[in-house]
Amino acid sequence: MNFLTKKALPRRTVLRGFGATMALPLLDAMIPAATAAIATPAKPVRRLGYVFMPMGADLSRWTPEGATLDKLSPILKSLAPVKDKVNILTNLELRPAYPGSHATSNSAFLSAARAKLTESSDYYLGTTADQIAAKEIGQATQLPSLELAMDMMETVGQCDNGYACVYQNNLSWSTPTTPLPAEAHPRLVFENLFGAGGSKAERQAALKRRASLLDFVKEDMAALKRDLGPEDRTKVDGYLDTVREVERRIQKAEADVSENPLPDLDRPVGVPPSYADHARLMFDLQVLALQGDVTRVITFQLARETSNRTYPELGVPDPHHPLTHHGNDPAKIARMAKINTFHVSLFAEFLKKLDAIREGEGSLLDNSLYLYGSGMGNPNKHDHVNLPTLVAGGGASGIRGNRHIHFKEVTPLANVHLTLLERVGVHLEKFGDSDGFIEELAV
């Protein structure tokens, strides 16, 4: 193949057009010629993602039987196709979240820090694990980190037992006093990743024409593909097809909302009306961001703590938050479990897509680590023990899956953060209230 005799293509190669920039996935042509002809180890894990599930879970339907995932619990069954790359961790605790609230469940999840009790602007928390990673592994990419959510975080003031809304609205904090707002609008995320082109007036005109990013870079694309081998051309074509499909879905969402005669009070133009469609689009944007190496650190909030979102598509017309205060009513618990199952199924679809993308000697999932979980265990009690937690990916760093790791002693969630940071090359002696590494994840 031609890359054996030519100078390797730089990993940071991008296609440029009118106001648009598109990064490329890892190609064989990016492997140095001196090493391309011999077997090389899988690309080390250098990507780290976090998906936050609000308000805990029905732990009786979450916790798997035994030490493997061969008998997945009802909530986790959708993970079956990728169970060999998943670990479920039980008996974890988030002690800094006490005395127990929705605000601290959210704020402590990535910080392992105790939020200052305040309703005003003098809030104080701690630097979150994702931002510690971003300072180390995010500096070589276009975006050091990407913060995403499903809800428009517009609520301000006091939100929960004397805690300012900022604690519920933001997972990611770059300093103890600097929360990083998350973006829920797919179009804005897409433009953040790939650019919109030109001035404000030119961007508006481009949106009106429904112009495609691919149209901006087609000349560079054609020139690049002439110099690639057949496997790389196939890889690039698949990546560009995904970009085109994401664009199409964003444009359809914009058209659907624009043509809807009913007033839309809860979301701006361009957000799909269906939660599932919106969530899948946000997950697909993460796939593109990771595959194109636009960013290596991502946080995603599936819903806000105290969310009153309903899920009629699941047969759950009840608002989520009141359902979690179920008072041990079996019917309410079952409906809450349906929401938990639905959220996990969307994450499982995302993992399958990452695992289907070949990269180096493994997959994009092998070269990534994702933590999925909640800062609350049993929401009816507002407790922060027995946290529903799973770790996915990491095969390139030696992490093996298909395990249910049940800790004999109550273990800080901060130990998981400390370990995942270590696996992506960020070396700390302590994080939050950690008291050691998770040896089982270092196998």
Tell whether 291 is covered by a domain. no
DSSP state of 270: T
Do the bridges between strand 368-373 and strand 297-301 make them parallel or antiparallel, or are there none, so unpaired? unpaired
Tell whether 202 is covered by a domain. yes
In the block, which residue shows the tokens 């205060």? 325
- Do 148 and 83 share a domain, yes or no? yes
User: What integer pLDDT is reported at residue 303 of this predicted model?
Assistant: 94
- Do 140 and 202 share a domain, yes or no? no
User: What integer pLDDT is reported at residue 295 of this predicted model?
Assistant: 93
Q: Return the structure tokens found at 435.
A: 């008291």
Tell whether 19 is covered by a domain. yes
Tell me how many domains the chain contains.
2
User: What integer pLDDT is reported at residue 37 of this predicted model?
Assistant: 33
Q: What count of other Cβ atoms lies within 10 Å of the Cβ of residue 2?
A: 12
CATH number at residue 307: 3.40.720.10
C-alpha 49/C-alpha 420 separation (Å) is 10
Contacts of 236 by beta carbon, 8 Å cutoff, 6+ apart:
24, 25, 27, 221, 224, 225, 228
C-alpha 359/C-alpha 25 separation (Å) is 8
Domain boundary among 270, 304, 327: 270
- Do 172 and 217 share a domain, yes or no? no
- Do 20 and 53 share a domain, yes or no? no
User: What integer pLDDT is reported at residue 16 of this predicted model?
Assistant: 53
Whether the CB-CB separation of 295 and 141 falls below 8 Å is answered with yes
Tell whether 404 is covered by a domain. yes
- Least Cα distance to 332 among 349, 350, 319 occurs for 319
C-alpha 140/C-alpha 293 separation (Å) is 9
Whether the CB-CB separation of 22 and 212 falls below 8 Å is answered with no
User: What integer pLDDT is reported at residue 5 of this predicted model?
Assistant: 39
Tell whether 290 is covered by a domain. no
- Least Cα distance to 394 among 127, 9, 46 occurs for 46
- Do 196 and 322 share a domain, yes or no? no
Q: Return the structure tokens found at 313.
A: 């598509």
C-alpha 114/C-alpha 117 separation (Å) is 9
User: What integer pLDDT is reported at residue 301 of this predicted model?
Assistant: 97
Do the bridges between strand 14-17 and strand 358-359 make them parallel or antiparallel, or are there none, so unpaired? unpaired
C-alpha 173/C-alpha 31 separation (Å) is 35
φ and ψ of 205, to 5 deg: -65, -40
Q: From residue 309, how far is each of 17, 85, 302, 404 by CA, in Å?
A: 40, 31, 11, 31
User: What integer pLDDT is reported at residue 397 of this predicted model?
Assistant: 81
- Do 176 and 194 share a domain, yes or no? no
- Do 116 and 63 share a domain, yes or no? yes
Q: Which domain holds residue 75?
A: 46-184+278-283+296-442
- Do 22 and 72 share a domain, yes or no? no
Burial class (CB within 10 angstroms; exposed 0-12, middle 13-18, buried 19+) of 276:
middle
Q: What count of other Cβ atoms lies within 10 Å of the Cβ of residue 222?
A: 10
Tell whether 22 is covered by a domain. yes
- Do 339 and 400 share a domain, yes or no? yes
User: What integer pLDDT is reported at residue 234 of this predicted model?
Assistant: 74
Tell whether 59 is covered by a domain. yes
- Do 80 and 99 share a domain, yes or no? yes
Whether the CB-CB separation of 47 and 296 falls below 8 Å is answered with yes
DSSP state of 22: E
Q: Return the structure tokens found at 200.
A: 């404000």
Task: Report, in angstroms and rounded to the nearest whole number, the Rg of the chain calculated over CA atoms.
Answer: 22
Whether the CB-CB separation of 282 and 185 falls below 8 Å is answered with no
Tell whether 435 is covered by a domain. yes
C-alpha 438/C-alpha 418 separation (Å) is 8
- Do 58 and 87 share a domain, yes or no? yes
Residue 91: HSE in the Cβ half-sphere, 13 Å Cα cutoff:
9
**DSSP secondary structure string, 250-278?**
HHHHHHHHHH--S---SS-TTS-SSHHHH
- Do 332 and 423 share a domain, yes or no? yes
Q: Return the structure tokens found at 347.
A: 């994450």
Q: What is the mean pLDDT of each run of 10 residues along the chain (443 residues)?
A: 46 54 66 40 73 97 96 98 98 94 94 94 95 93 93 62 88 94 89 65 51 65 74 72 69 58 40 91 94 93 92 94 94 97 98 94 94 96 96 91 97 98 95 95 70
